[in-house]
Amino acid sequence: MANSIFMKAEEVQAFLGVSRTESYRIIKRLNEELKANGYMVISGRVSRKYLEEKVYGYVGSSVPVSEAEQEV
């Protein structure tokens, strides 16, 4: 579900083009970072916004950097 706040392993897998096992590892690592910063986490799910920030490197957009640079 693309409008959900959280992404499951299957969505992370498709989004990043990685294996299911790797998507679980990524979710676990990101959730550990969030938990260390005092955020509540849900096992097996990761914040869509946080994942996009970590992948694209900036806050506030779900547009890949390459597309955003073309608009400038």
Question: Strand, helix or coil at 48?
Answer: helix
pLDDT bin (cut points 50, 70, 90) of residue 35 is very high
Helix (H) or strand (E) holding 45: strand 45-47
**pTM score above 0.85:** no
Q: Read off the pLDDT of each residue in 16-31 and give the average, rounded to a whole number.
A: 96
Strand partners, 47: 6
Residue-wise pLDDT for 37-71, tens only, equals 999 999 999 999 999 999 988 666 555 555 544 44
